[in-house]
Chain A
Amino acid sequence: MSQHTIVIPTKDKLFNLEPLLTRTPGNILTWIILAVGLVVTVIRFTMGIGSVANLDDNWPWGLWIGFDLLCGVCLAAGGYFTTVACYVMGMKHFHSAVRPAVTTAFLGYAFVVVALLYDLGHPWRLPYMFFFPGTTSVLFEVGLCVATYVTVLFIEFSVAPMEWLSCKFPWLLKYRKLVIRATILLTIFGVTLSTLHQSSLGSLYLIAPEKLHPLWYSPFMPMFFFVSSMAAGASMVIFEGMFAHKGVHDYMDETHLREADCVVLSFAKAGSFILFAYFMLKFIDMLVQANIPYLFSGYGAWWLLEMFGFVLLPALLYAKGSRDGNVKLCRIASVNAVAGIVLNRFNVSMIAFNYQLPPSDGYFPSIGEICISVFVVTLIVTAYRFIVYNMPVLYEHPDFKGEEH
């Protein structure tokens, strides 16, 4: 039924901007956030980081790194997770989930880079890491992998805009064919790069054992970050799908709608397994490092809350939901799991970081920092909406229907 309402862009009417420009409460809120964000952006780049952020010498990294970078990259893990499941493991019934996942992953990474520019003292010098490569630095590995992976994601994602624009620029079809032929190559390249930089985001903190609380510091942080990114990938596909069904339901075709529930249940099952494994890894690590005495402190209670309320609980909810075929429960679990991932990254980068400093030297993000983070998230959502309204992401383009790839 919904198939008939999808507006397929044609040569004469290439853009479908109406849903972004009509005066709905959501759009008005978007405009306000974007306007405020632009003002803060101007302040940031004309008056310095100190004018908008609460960062100081004890807290060189705050919300922009803890949320925009660490959470942004982790929550964009749906891209590699879905492509590997579909193309490498041959789970073809996830095919309709691939494009939305790749789209959000590409947007996530692209805007991680955008957000990073706010945090860097010399944003235009970002490419310097290639001219003066500090190969002993974990950050170099992160930068190299993220730069390469953004490129890979751009190529993977480019199929959708090429299908959209091919009605006006037919020469794009040649490149589209080339990219589709390289799908498996790009997928394997993507998962390798993802493994590297998801884990190396954890490795960033290996150099500061005296600053990060022992319950979170571990030589195995790279592994924890990678394993939890897999859980984040599975959870984000369910989480985003939930909002997509609310907001852009009209742009989904029959195949997408038919496969959607199966995708939710299967990803919930995978998420359950991964979260259980993650829980065990963290728990064993805590025992091996003889950290039990720390459990009887404020930080210990916080750690237990994270582990039981935001790792084990979503794992159980996922298990129950996928077993009972309860899509709604799986969605609730995905909210819980995503919150847990964010909480973990906040703990590592902010809450359990600098735990030995007196409370007077604490850090809480400023209004300006929060504005920029909200601004970036709104940009991602707006870009996603634009793409979904115009490009074949949630539906198959009629010109390319039934093609095997």
Chain B
Amino acid sequence: MNRRKFLTILGSAGVASTLGTAATATKAEAGHVFPYYDESYGVLHDTTRCIGCRRCEEACQKVNDLPKPDKSFDDLSVTATRRRTSADAWTVVNKYEVDGKPFFRKLQCFHCNDPACASACFAKCFRKLPNGAVVYEGSQCVGCRYCMIACPFYVPGFEYDEALDPLVQKCTFCEPRLQEGKLPGCVEACPMDALTFGRRSDLIRIARARISENPGKYVNYIYGEHDAGGTAWMVLAPAVDGKGAKVEQNPIDAGHTMKQLGLNTHLGTQPMGELTYGALGAVPMIVAFWPVLFGGAYAITKRREAMAKQAQDAAVNEARQDVAVAVDAAVRKLEETEGPGAADRARRAMTEALKAREAETAHARHGEEN
């Protein structure tokens, strides 16, 4: 028994006992660890060991009661086509050319530490469990498929042909099996030890040990250690170059290899959900400030209208007074030259004319308002 195998078994033996402690820990709400996912479980996928036998796919289909595929699992040629996970196939193995040499990589849910799907779901269907699994509860799923938009790994599949109860489906980390103290189906079935199950912090130590103990075999990058905020399932990639001597020690150089393996190293180290938190954080600000801002604008508008009306009224009054003074002077002069009778007649005519004009302007203004 080599060290790797020992660790795998050690890890699986620990499942039952630790699940117990995890449950007590949540119950007592004590014993917080930071980061909280360090002690949760994960799987390390060593692509230098994977031979593309599809046993993991077969085991996944069996333990999860998934529909049988059209082509049997013995047909290895399908690995050459670019397949992705779907509602019926929660894990697939594909062949990739890395610098001219063929390698296989298994795809499944990465079980992110801070999953994008859980952040994106508006009905809280996804949960990250203390044991590391990201699980989905379909009974409250609305079927909006925003989780599929959000997932940076193109993992969740949707039952498009289901008429009444279409759900999102993805790898569950064999959560029910973990509860029973068993290994995930794919890990158990792997004949090449390409999948190592264990605590996430242990897996990172194992991965580092493999990289340093085997110079020239691996690129110096554990995919999933930090990508997208870190994932429970991680990938070790082969270092291949023509001369066989050069090792890609610089993690930045690893992007070249990772890309050929279909792994995106440009996701950043933050959980994907965090990218939306700035925008969501602005919501309370807008709720608070907009009514004040637009209420203020409304008040200014009203005040301006009132001031304009006041100014207009003042101008009209002034003009009217001017006219009255002039008329008064004219009538007095008339009284002096023509006598009081003529002055009375002039006054009467003046009042009538003013009344008629007022009525006219009032009518015009009414028409304008409409």
Contact = CB atoms under 8 A, between A and B. Distances in A.
Interface of A: 45-51, 53, 55-58, 60-61, 84, 87-90, 119-123, 125-126, 128-129, 131-134, 136-141, 143, 184, 187-189, 191-192, 195-196, 199-200, 203-211, 219, 222, 255, 358, 401-402, 404
Interface in B12-48: none
A55 to B, nearest CB: 6
B307 interface: no
Interface stretch (B49-57, B173-181, B288-296): B288-296
Which of A56, A138, A188, A199 lies at the interface centre, i.e. has the most chain B CB atoms within 10 A of its CB? A138
27 contacts: A50-B161, A51-B163, A57-B86, A57-B156, A57-B157, A57-B158, A58-B84, A60-B149, A88-B301, A89-B301, A120-B144, A121-B145, A121-B159, A129-B123, A131-B140, A132-B125, A137-B120, A139-B120, A141-B283, A143-B122, A188-B295, A207-B149, A207-B273, A210-B266, A210-B267, A222-B282, A404-B369
A255 B86 CA distance: 60
Given A48-B160, A53-B160, A121-B167, 19 more contacts: A48-B162, A49-B160, A50-B161, A56-B160, A57-B154, A60-B148, A120-B144, A122-B141, A122-B143, A129-B122, A132-B125, A137-B121, A138-B120, A143-B122, A203-B276, A203-B280, A208-B150, A210-B152, A211-B152
A47 B142 contact: no
B276 A192 contact: no
A138 B369 contact: no
A88 B298 contact: yes
A347 to B, nearest CB: 16
A16 B82 CA distance: 60
A136 B279 contact: no
A116 B95 CA distance: 39
B294 A88 contact: yes
Nearest to A360: B82
B304 interface: yes
A140 B272 contact: no
B258 interface: no
A121 B141 contact: yes
A260 B145 CA distance: 43
Interface in B74-123: 82, 84-87, 116, 118-123
Main secondary structure of the interface of A (DSSP, over half): helix
B305 interface: yes
Which of B119, B276, B291, B370 lies at the interface centre, i.e. has the most chain A CB atoms within 10 A of its CB? B276
Interface in B163-222: 163, 165-167
Nearest to B290: A192
B273 A136 contact: yes
B264 interface: yes
Nearest to B151: A208
B166 A48 contact: yes
B142 A128 contact: yes
A138 B291 contact: no
B98 to A, nearest CB: 18
Contacts of B287: 192, 196
Contacts of A60: 145-146, 148-149, 158
B121 A208 contact: no
B67 interface: no
A191 B286 CA distance: 10
Contact of B146 (A45, A46, A137, A402): A137
A131 B122 CA distance: 10
Ranked nearest first, the 6 interchain pairs of A and B with the lowest CB-CB distance are A121-B143, A50-B160, A90-B301, A60-B145, A60-B148, A203-B279
Contacts of B309: none
Interface of B: 82, 84-87, 116, 118-125, 140-146, 148-150, 152, 154, 156-163, 165-167, 264, 266-268, 272-273, 275-280, 282-283, 286-287, 290-291, 294-295, 297-298, 301-302, 304-305, 366, 369-370
A6 B33 CA distance: 74
Contacts, number: 183
B272 A207 contact: yes
A125 B280 contact: no
Given A60-B148, A60-B149, A210-B264, A88 B297 contact: yes
Nearest to A116: B144
Contacts of A84: 294
Contacts of A53: 160
A122 to B, nearest CB: 4
A96 to B, nearest CB: 11
Nearest to A221: B279
A56 B157 CA distance: 8
B144 A55 contact: no
A138 B276 contact: yes
Contact of A358 (B82, B86, B141, B144): B82
A77 B281 CA distance: 23
A222 B159 CA distance: 31
A206 B279 contact: yes
Contact of A132 (B124, B158, B166, B278): B124
B124 A133 contact: yes
B293 to A, nearest CB: 9
A39 to B, nearest CB: 16
A30 B145 CA distance: 32
A126 B125 CA distance: 14
A50 B124 CA distance: 25
Nearest to B121: A134
A55 B123 contact: no
Contacts of B156: 57
B157 A402 contact: no
Nearest to A144: B122
Contacts of A46: 163
A333 to B, nearest CB: 27
Given A46-B163, A138-B276, A192 B291 contact: yes
Contacts of A404: 369
Contacts of B85: 57
Contact of B275 (A49, A90, A195, A206): A206
Nearest to A354: B154
Contacts of B144: 119-121, 139
A200 B286 CA distance: 12
A206 B276 contact: yes
A128 B272 CA distance: 24
A128 B123 contact: yes
B260 to A, nearest CB: 14
Contacts of A139: 120, 122, 144, 146
Contacts of A200: 279, 283
